[in-house]
Chains A and B, each alone.
Chain A
């Protein structure tokens, strides 16, 4: 039985040739999807999300009750609802009240909001992990709150937050496949479209999976380098 199954895939020379042919032809459109959509979507969303996350974290640790509440509600709402539902609300929901946003910007907005919420908790924890004496040392040489934050606290907090932020970043790479559901022709949507014409679902989805894996692998290499660089001021 197993032998029959294996032979049906691998030993039929015609079928092998057909798979090779499809694989070769689909590789380029998939890679294009990754380069034109998946990677820019990830990068732009991460940068916007990170900015949002820093602001949200600062709001959470500020003494201002209103800011704290707004930040907490935002984080709660985003973390408490599925990403796919958020994307549907932005792309399919908002047009019913007259707000029409194209697929790509819709995805950027959705992913940025998502990263902003999750990463804000990482950044808040990282800031709180820096000893109080560092703030005091900054103040004692006459620095203001923003100066101390920028020059003393955030550089140290960034070191602490690189591993968890890398997690967020790598999750984001893979989450961008959800943009296929709101008509962004990123890599996974292209895989779906090609598979729909030739019914080679396993091949196409494996191909897409492989490209995601390679991207994420490269990212973890970059993460390692950044960590090494930031670790230069701590004893090993």
Chain B
């Protein structure tokens, strides 16, 4: 499904990703953990080209971007449509209601009929438990509700892969659960997901694979049991000791 080959990303002099190789199979949930500055968010943002990698290759399904050469700008929007992104700060469109936020992509990008898009948006809002909030503006919703709208907005584009960038980090503790529940449901339905998070419980319960990143490289990877109970690398142990 996703194939990343020798991915590098450099901001001026700062090397953030130093040769990432990664494969994610269809329907799998991969959780990326690591200390801040380890490059995990950058890796996620490279997957939908919000950051342009310096070199390397990313393939999602049958679309391949090779960043060793100049990537044609025209290829990027269609590549982005393979993935749905959920942001740490939700980034909902504040001038649109929950319903309009979700309809925006299907109507503007895919050219769907408004009626059909509205039906789908209502269905998605019901799915994330916000069927009674469809006409609310983002400022009228709690953080957890906004993030669930964010998830529904990404799903409306029918992506092949969902990317989550610390989706619960900005939330009050009591609101984390409702967002994680939606994510777990999604995982159970067989959605392919790459999740950057500090929620170790989610990683344990929902991940098929946990990836520990530090210093721009993948230090260790394995199933949750293996990473959390029996980490091999010293850096992984050190990190897990610090957060648990």
Contact = CB atoms under 8 A, between A and B. Distances in A.
Q: Nearest 10 CB-CB pairs, A to B?
A: A141-B105, A140-B85, A137-B91, A133-B91, A142-B81, A142-B109, A235-B139, A233-B137, A233-B95, A155-B95
A140 B139 CA distance: 21
A131 B157 CA distance: 23
A102 B92 CA distance: 50
Contact of A152 (B83, B93, B139, B156): B93
Interface string A114-158: 000000000000000001011011011111100100011001100
A151 B104 contact: yes
Interface of A: 131, 133-134, 136-137, 139-144, 147, 151-152, 155-156, 159, 232-235
Interface in B55-95: 77-78, 80-81, 83-85, 87, 89, 91-95
- Greatest chain B CB density within 10 A among A136, A140, A159, A235 is at A140
A144 B94 CA distance: 19
B139 A141 contact: no
A142 B157 contact: yes
Contacts of A134: 91, 93
B192 interface: no
Contacts of B140: 235
Nearest to A158: B95
Nearest to B137: A233
B236 interface: no
A140 B109 contact: no
A236 to B, nearest CB: 9
A143 B94 contact: no
B94 A141 contact: no
A133 B94 contact: no
Given A137-B92, A156-B94, 20 more contacts: A131-B91, A133-B89, A136-B50, A137-B85, A140-B83, A141-B80, A141-B153, A141-B156, A141-B157, A142-B80, A142-B105, A143-B105, A147-B108, A152-B93, A159-B95, A233-B94, A233-B96, A233-B138, A234-B94, A235-B140
B104 A136 contact: no
Nearest to B79: A142
B145 interface: no
Contact of B108 (A151, A159, A234, A235): A151
Contacts of A152: 93
Nearest to A143: B109
B119 to A, nearest CB: 18
Contacts of B42: none
Nearest to A140: B85
